[in-house]
Amino acid sequence: MKDTVSEEVLNRAQLWLNGNYDKESKQAILNMMEKDPQELTESFYKDLEFGTGGLRGIMGVGTNRMNKYTVGMATQGLANYLKKMFPHREEIAAVIAYDCRHNNTYFSQIAADVLSANGIRVYQFDALRPTPELSFAIRKLGAQTGIVITASHNPKEYNGYKVYWEDGGQLINPHDVNVVAEARKITEIDDVNFEGNAELQEIIGEEMDKDYVDAIKGLTLSPELIAKHNDLKIVYTPIHGTGVDLVPRALKEFGFSNVFNVPEQDVVSGDFPTVISPNPEESAALKMAIDKAMEVGADVVMATDPDSDRVGIAVRNENNEFVLLNGNQMAALLSYYLFSKWKENGKLDGKQFMVKTIVTSELLIDMADKFNIDSYDVLTGFKFIADIIKKEEGKKTFIAGGEESYGFLIGDFVRDKDAVSACVMVAETAAWATEKGLSLYELLQEIYVEYDLYWERLISVVKKGKSGAEEIEQMMVDYRNTPPATINGSAVVQIKDYQASICKNIKSGEESIIDLPKSNVLQFFTEDGSKISIRPSGTEPKIKFYFGVKAKLDKTSDYNQLHQQLDQRIEEIIESLELK
Could you list the active site residues? 152
* Residue in 296, 295, 297, 275 with CA at minimum distance from that of residue 286: 275
**Pairing state between β 158-165 and 145-149:** antiparallel
* Residue in 126, 127, 122 with CA at minimum distance from that of residue 141: 122
Q: Coil, strand or helix: which one is 495?
A: strand
* Residue in 249, 487, 452, 324 with CA at minimum distance from that of residue 495: 487
**Which residues, 6 or more positions from 391, have their beta carbon under 8 angstroms from its beta carbon?**
none
End-to-end CA distance of the chain: 37
Q: Are 133 and 117 in contact (CB under 8 A)?
A: no
Instruction: Report how far residue 19's alpha carbon sits from residue 268's, in angstroms, rounded to the nearest whole number.
Output: 37
**Which residues, 6 or more positions from 265, have their beta carbon under 8 angstroms from its beta carbon?**
237, 238, 239, 240, 274, 275, 288, 289
Instruction: Report how far residue 386's alpha carbon sits from residue 424's, in angstroms, rounded to the nearest whole number.
Output: 21
Q: Are 416 and 168 in contact (CB under 8 A)?
A: yes
Instruction: Report how far residue 386's alpha carbon sits from residue 52's, in angstroms, rounded to the nearest whole number.
Output: 13
Tally of CB atoms within 10 A around 565: 14
**C-alpha radius of gyration, the chain, whole number:** 24
Instruction: Report how far residue 56's alpha carbon sits from residue 481's, in angstroms, rounded to the nearest whole number.
Output: 30
Instruction: Report how far residue 362's alpha carbon sits from residue 374's, in angstroms, rounded to the nearest whole number.
Output: 14
- Is the peptide bond prior to 132 cis by the omega test (within 30 degrees of 0)? no
The per-residue DSSP string of 137-173 comes to HHHHHT-SEEEEE--TTS-TTEEEEEEEETTSSBP-T
3-state secondary structure labels for all residues of 65-83: CECHHHHHHHHHHHHHHHH
- Dihedral in degrees, nearest 10, Cα atoms 558, 559, 562, 567: -160
Q: Are 4 and 37 in contact (CB under 8 A)?
A: yes
Q: What are phi and psi of 6, to 5 degrees?
A: -70, 160
